[in-house]
Structure 1
């Protein structure tokens, strides 16, 4: 036990700690929490039903290499039922195994009610939460975080949290098992650029000394378990350390780009990355496509068509290709995505699997190929993002069977692309 003094008031608290003492010093993450009661004071965990929403059975649905796109996911209405954040978790795709700490999962949350006397913690990995509709008031053991659309929040492994909403809420979640999210290396960019450390925010301790019936939900091995206790788990009076939840506003991102010619790879838009066990390869990158200037010359400015050994030639410009060795899950927070302005909507999603070709739709290709190459603003009022991973992602049964949401006509957006080659 430790005694903490503020000069006039003394109170005895129990100290707990998250730490990874075997890690190298530069990678060590730990936090000390000073609690009114230790978090071990709860009854046994018992399984609770989460099927078919939360799903890590990657072999249940038949694999498909096709490009997939989902229309905006439906948010439950209060007239139908009250659905909180835990009940509103739905898995779309993923790969790997949380039990061996390797892989990722992609979820959406679709809810309309606050969690009340209920908390969740993820024993499997970290959550990167991307709100799209409605603000989230997240109470954590470290304090409170308000996360609105165009902001992101990371709740790391093991941290208890409660989500309150003020109405219909929808968003995306990237879950990683391998490691924790970190800033990408800047290399020749230098000391400043992309997401800067100064712009990340952590909560201030804000404790509840409240005795009430409380349910703590644990996600363990991809399943949900619940334990009862007689007090709030958010009874942390003070904390210190660097293993903490945090949030970041996407408007703070300092985009870099070419000022001469050619289209850079999307890694220049990486906000956060989670490394894999393979050096130089990410388990997952969180990438955004923010408002910015486009100034390249002698260049097809939109994203080029992705496929190994593939090239489309134009009379004046060429859309180069690249080996697509990553899986790309895209979502749209707001606005109109520049490569598919008419058909990709906020609250929806797309999945382009490893070595499956994709790129701008026919309308975007024709417009970009015939535009005057003068400096222009791109993506104003828009925020698209991508969960990119080196893993080959499998779609869950739930996502594969959303017949009213899967866009069967997605492939048609490329069918009118014309041949422009001539001798």
Structure 2
């Protein structure tokens, strides 16, 4: 694991160079007339040049060859179920999928789009994908011109090589590869997980408001890779996602040739066990927004294109309260997944590797068994969700399901609605 070295902090201005080439970072200028070691200077911008300083995202890369040195891009045929391929087929039903199958092949060939909304051409929207694979990418790299990708491993670790360095991310950790960053994924055996892709803006930490200075995800716990390079001449394929379609271009060298870099635009990872849980200590059930790890905000204050929310192990102590998630309808779309353990509102009915989608204003909540148990339990302080980690991709957009998600994957549970069928009327009527 010695090759994995990290810098700490969310959104920091970092400077990093491979220890094999000391002094490879230019001393005072971003783009000197001649860079140390004969390197090329290249800027990667994740925001408009004129964005305010607090939202301006860019990094300078000092590399052996500039990324422009490749042949023409051509349509790529290896991702037939990945992209902006959700159908114009509204379906407000509650949806749940059994654990998704493992696909033979590498990370790119195993990408499958479940649902999405919006349009990357207009820089507004999101897509939700499943990945599964059995082997590592070889002499190939991927970048997403449409937006950022938040990756949630569920089965098997990912050995991710990026232009900025190496990231090792295992289940119960996440990583974010931001727009335009090239990366390759190595695996050992069966691997599966979830991806949240946002077309507009970047993920950020939620504001804490009356919580105060401390709580939720702490900036120092986000890790960015230290510079690492390979000087490798070979037949290499660059795969790009652009306007929802995928393309491939050939080049004669590895793109992971960045010897040094500095800036505030970089990939990062986070360990979900480091989340500082905030919860009620008196009564009632706090809104799930209190468990937000990262958010991508829309132009409307307080309204998210996407939130990444987790349900970690915690104490439950509320008095005179129905403690599981309550029955509800709301103006957000909720896509849920389970990394490990059991989800508290559907114990035994929602397994690791599964997913569910509760669309805008579609009612949902605990199943019949959960309701009966929680309504009659002795209320005392107890630990919940130990050994478990459920999460939610929540969005203000109305999501449409892809044909793959509805038909081709054959994992959609058509009897999901039955988990509420045995709810009975408990109304006692007015007292006589």
TM-score, normalised via structure 2 length? 0.90
Equivalent in the alignment of 1:172: 194
Shift of residue 121, structure 1, vs aligned partner: 0.2
Secondary structure in 2 aligned to 1:401?
helix
C-alpha distance in 1 between matches for 2:302 and 2:173: 27
| 1:334 aligns to 2:356 (yes or no) | no
Task: Map 1:225-240 to 2 at 5 A.
Answer: 225-240=247-262
C-alpha distance in 1 between matches for 2:74 and 2:318: 58
1:77-97: CA deviation from partner (whole Å, max 9, x where unpaired) = xxxxx4111111000000000
Pick closer, same or farther for the CA change 1:376–1:85 going to 2, 3 Å. same
Equivalent in the alignment of 2:100: 73
Shift of residue 219, structure 1, vs aligned partner: 0.5
C-alpha distance in 2 between matches for 1:404 and 1:6: 54
Secondary structure in 1 aligned to 2:223?
coil
Equivalent in the alignment of 1:214: 236
Counterpart pick for 2:156 among 134, 140, 148: 134
Structure 2 contact 227–260 (Cα < 8 Å) conserved: yes
Moved segments of 4+, more than 6 Å: none
Equivalent in the alignment of 1:193: 215
Task: Map 1:32-71 to 2 at 5 A.
Answer: 32-50=60-78, 52-60=80-88, 62-71=89-98
Equivalent in the alignment of 1:321: none
Equivalent in the alignment of 2:31: none
Equivalent in the alignment of 1:111: 133
- Give the CA RMSD over aligned residues: 1.5
Equivalent in the alignment of 1:284: 306
Residues matched between the structures, number = 398
Pick closer, same or farther for the CA change 1:420–1:86 going to 2, 3 Å. same
Shift of residue 8, structure 1, vs aligned partner: 11
Structure 1 contact 178–277 (Cα < 8 Å) conserved: no
Shift of residue 404, structure 1, vs aligned partner: 3.4
Counterpart pick for 2:383 among 358, 377, 380: 377
Task: Map 1:387-402 to 2 at 5 A.
Answer: 387-402=393-408
Shift of residue 51, structure 1, vs aligned partner: 5.4
Pick closer, same or farther for the CA change 1:7–1:354 going to 2, 3 Å. closer
1:140-184: CA deviation from partner (whole Å, max 9, x where unpaired) = 000000000000000000000000001110000000011100000
Equivalent in the alignment of 1:181: 203
Counterpart pick for 1:153 among 175, 198, 209: 175
C-alpha distance in 1 between matches for 2:381 and 2:23: 60
C-alpha distance in 1 between matches for 2:37 and 2:397: 49
| 1:252 aligns to 2:262 (yes or no) | no
1:59-118: CA deviation from partner (whole Å, max 9, x where unpaired) = 35x221100000000003xxxxx4111111000000000000000000000111100100
Shift of residue 7, structure 1, vs aligned partner: 6.5
Equivalent in the alignment of 1:351: 357
Equivalent in the alignment of 2:315: 293
Shift of residue 413, structure 1, vs aligned partner: 0.8
Secondary structure in 1 aligned to 2:362?
coil
Shift of residue 402, structure 1, vs aligned partner: 4.0
C-alpha distance in 2 between matches for 1:372 and 1:30: 54
C-alpha distance in 2 between matches for 1:25 and 1:45: 34
Secondary structure in 1 aligned to 2:121?
helix
| 1:421 aligns to 2:423 (yes or no) | no
Secondary structure in 2 aligned to 1:328?
strand
Structure 1 contact 203–246 (Cα < 8 Å) conserved: yes
Shift of residue 403, structure 1, vs aligned partner: 6.6
C-alpha distance in 1 between matches for 2:152 and 2:22: 38
1:205-261: CA deviation from partner (whole Å, max 9, x where unpaired) = 010101111000011011111110000000000001110000000000001001010
Structure 1 contact 295–374 (Cα < 8 Å) conserved: yes
C-alpha distance in 2 between matches for 1:12 and 1:48: 34
Gaps of 5+ in 2: 1-17, 26-35
Structure 2 contact 79–108 (Cα < 8 Å) conserved: no
C-alpha distance in 2 between matches for 1:228 and 1:56: 24
